[in-house]
């Protein structure tokens, strides 16, 4: 049973560029959440997608946007990258209010 | 929103020692999970425990929902237990998982 898959694992981008991160949920899970984790801190909630709609959003600017596809997979897009966007981006999937399963993350470095 | 605090923030143990990590939360919860984050960043689910007690090998966890806290017990610690332990909760009508501040554990030989 495949867990949560994220791609790419590492990424280096230049300030001002745009980036797209991808996530495939665990089999049977229909909800995808995205988190940002800066070095030395806990994960911070970005947003959650359910039935292809954004269900809840954290305190992140509109530069952060997402999408969920009919097969439940999801993308996180970040526009106009800033140095402060450098972080580990984690995707989690869940079903109803079942436990969350996290992927291995994408480490984004903005230079 | 719900607040989650963990203690202690840092812990250094000698291999073979036991430890207790605590998680306090400010409101009733529908879900509580303990995670271990390894040095590569992977968040590994240890327990899904909104209430009661569970055990898995050398690890066990207890959540007392009425008193708004959870405990994670690590017995006979090993160097591979090193990393950061997070408590995360799903509270009230919220659909997002809120993380605590984490406990950084280092197990030495």
- Confidence label for A2 from pLDDT (cuts 50, 70 and 90): low
pLDDT at A97: 60
* pLDDT value for B39: 85
- What is the spatial distance between Cα B43 and Cα A53, in angstroms, rounded to a whole number? 25
What pLDDT shows up at residue A44? Answer: 95
- To the nearest whole number, what is the mean pLDDT of chain A? 94
Q: Is A104 on the interface with B (CB under 8 A)?
A: yes
**Alpha carbons B19 and B7: distance in angstroms, whole number:** 11
Q: For testing the chain B interface, which of A59, A60, A68, A102 should be mutated: the one with the most B CBs within 10 Å? A: A102
Whether the pLDDT of residue A1 is over 90: the answer is no
Residues in chain A with CB shorter than 8 Å from the CB of B100 are 42
Question: At B98, is the secondary structure helix, strand, or coil?
Answer: strand
Q: What is the dihedral of CA A60, A61, A65, A66, to 10 degrees?
A: 10
Spatial separation of the C-alpha atoms in residues A70 and B65, rounded to whole Å: 36
pLDDT in tens, A9-55: 999 999 999 999 999 999 989 999 999 999 989 999 999 999 999 99
**pLDDT score, position B96:** 87
Q: Does the distance separating the beta carbons of B42 and A50 come in below 8 Å?
A: no
pLDDT digits 0-9 by tens, A55-97: 999 999 999 999 999 999 999 999 999 999 999 999 999 987 6
pLDDT tens digits along B63-108: 999 999 999 999 999 999 999 999 999 987 777 899 999 999 999 9
Cβ atoms of A92 and A4 within 8 Å: the answer is yes
Place of tokens 């998982």: B97
What mean pLDDT is reported for chain B? Answer: 94
Site from B23, B42, B96, B103 to mutate, A interface, most A CB atoms within 10 angstroms: B96
Q: Residue B95 has what pLDDT?
A: 77
The predicted pLDDT at position B76 comes to 97
Token code pair at residue B35: 């995670």
Is A68 near chain B, with CB under 8 Å? no
The whole-number pLDDT of residue B32 equals 95
Residue A7 has pLDDT above 80, yes or no: yes
**pLDDT, position A11:** 96
Tell me how long chain B is. Answer: 109
Please, which residues bridge with residue A20 across strands?
Answer: A77
Span B29-74, pLDDT tens digits: 989 999 999 888 899 999 999 999 999 999 999 999 999 999 999 9
What integer pLDDT is reported at residue A62 of this predicted model?
96
């Amino acid at each position: 049973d495949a867990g949560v898959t994220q791609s790419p694992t590492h990424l280096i981008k230049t300030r001002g560029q745009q980036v797209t991160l991808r996530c495939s949920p665990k089999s049977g899970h229909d909800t995808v959440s995205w988190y940002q984790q800066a070095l030395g801190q806990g994960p911070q909630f970005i947003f959650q997608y359910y039935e292809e709609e954004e269900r809840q959003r954290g305190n992140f600017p509109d530069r952060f946007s997402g999408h969920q596809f009919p097969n439940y997979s999801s993308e996180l897009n970040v526009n106009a990258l800033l140095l402060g966007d450098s972080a580990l981006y984690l995707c989690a999937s869940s079903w109803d209010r079942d436990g969350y399963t996290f992927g291995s993350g994408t480490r984004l470095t903005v230079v | 929103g719900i607040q989650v605090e963990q203690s202690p923030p840092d812990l250094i143990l000698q291999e073979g020692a036991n430890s207790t990590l605590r998680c306090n939360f400010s409101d009733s919860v529908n879900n509580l999970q303990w995670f271990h984050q390894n040095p590569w960043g992977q968040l590994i689910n240890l327990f899904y425990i909104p209430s009661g007690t569970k055990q898995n090998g050398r690890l066990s966890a207890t959540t007392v929902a009425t008193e708004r806290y959870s405990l994670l017990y690590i017995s006979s610690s090993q160097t591979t237990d090193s990393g950061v332990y997070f408590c995360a909760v799903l509270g009230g009508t919220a659909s997002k998982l809120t993380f605590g501040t984490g406990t950084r554990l280092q197990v030495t030989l």
